[in-house]
Amino acid sequence: MHVLILGGTTEARRLAGLLHGTPGLELTSSLAGRVASPRLPPGEVRVGGFGGTEGLTAWLRERAVDALIDATHPFAATISFHAARAAATAHVPLLALRRPGWVPVEGDRWHEAGSLEHAARLLPALGRRVFLTTGRMGLPAFAALDELWFLVRSVDAPEPPHPSHGEILLDRGPFTLDGERELLRRHRIDVVVTKDSGGAATAPKLTAAREARLPVVVVRRPPVPEGVPEVGEPEQAARWVAERLATAPRA
């Protein structure tokens, strides 16, 4: 039984670790290739795009994939739609592994935004020194805000256009609460911007902002394909695979 994991996320790596070495299971993890030095999961790994829905459909057929798991980032909406269409065309069972989104608690001062551009429009009224944690691909949306200062955190160095006033911090989670508190204090941050990525790896910044009573602009997740079965934990996805493996025909 051949399983393809569309990954790159912490959950995808955890799932690959749970499945790797299972008798009767061939496992392939696919990474988009947007990070220069990604953390690789165990097992076979391919890097790069498939060439849209048609390319992914052809790959599923050529490699005789028996099950497809979409464990991509919550903001990687395009590949999720490609996966849904390709799985339907190739008649391959599809499961979405999506980490739950963050939920505000008492003391949070969240301002929801429907897009990065919307978040940029909100900023001038909320603060002057911004902790921007939306990833390097979305920085052009904030490039014109010359009156603000930005601490931009990114795994890899961003290319222009990006905010011209501020500092680039190259770092990769998980992050600690003490570390996030110190960042906010040292850089005199008065507003935080984040995507609703969910998960624990980058959540401490929300706690640190709440403690400091800072406003946080939270970019809502994009829509995902309808009708795709969904789980929130790698262990649930591993059980889904195990159920199919148990009923797979034997050679």
The letter for the amino acid at 194 is T
Q: Is the pLDDT of residue 165 over 80?
A: yes
pLDDT of residue 201: 81
pLDDT of residue 202: 85
Rounded to an integer, the average pLDDT of 220-236 is 95
List of residues 6+ apart from 239 with CB closer than 8 A: none
For residue 250, what pLDDT band results from cuts at 50, 70 and 90?
Answer: low
Least confident range from 33-42, 61-70, 76-85: namely 33-42
Q: Is the pLDDT of residue 39 over 90?
A: no
Rounded to an integer, the average pLDDT of 45-59 is 94
Q: Is the pLDDT of residue 55 over 80?
A: yes
Q: Is the pLDDT of residue 251 over 60?
A: no
User: What strands lie across the sheet with 2-6, from one edge to the other?
Assistant: 44-47, 26-31, 2-6, 67-70, 94-97, 230-231
pLDDT digits (tens, 9 = 90+) for 112-146: 999 999 999 999 999 999 999 998 989 999 999 99
Q: Report the mean per-residue pLDDT for the chain.
A: 94
Mark 38-72 as b/e (b = at least 16 C-beta within 10 Å).
beebebebeeeebeebeebbebbeeeebbbbbbbb
pLDDT of residue 120: 98
pLDDT of residue 72: 95
Separation CA 83–CA 97 (nearest Å): 12
* pTM metric for this prediction: 0.89
Q: Which carries the bigger pLDDT value, residue 48 or residue 112?
A: 112
Ordered by where they begin, the domains of the chain are 2-99+223-247 (3.40.50.720), 109-219 (3.40.50.720)
Q: How do beta strands 215-219 and 191-195 pair?
A: parallel
Q: Which carries the bigger pLDDT value, residue 155 or residue 216?
A: 216
Least confident range from 56-65, 114-123, 198-207: namely 198-207
For residue 36, what pLDDT band results from cuts at 50, 70 and 90?
Answer: low
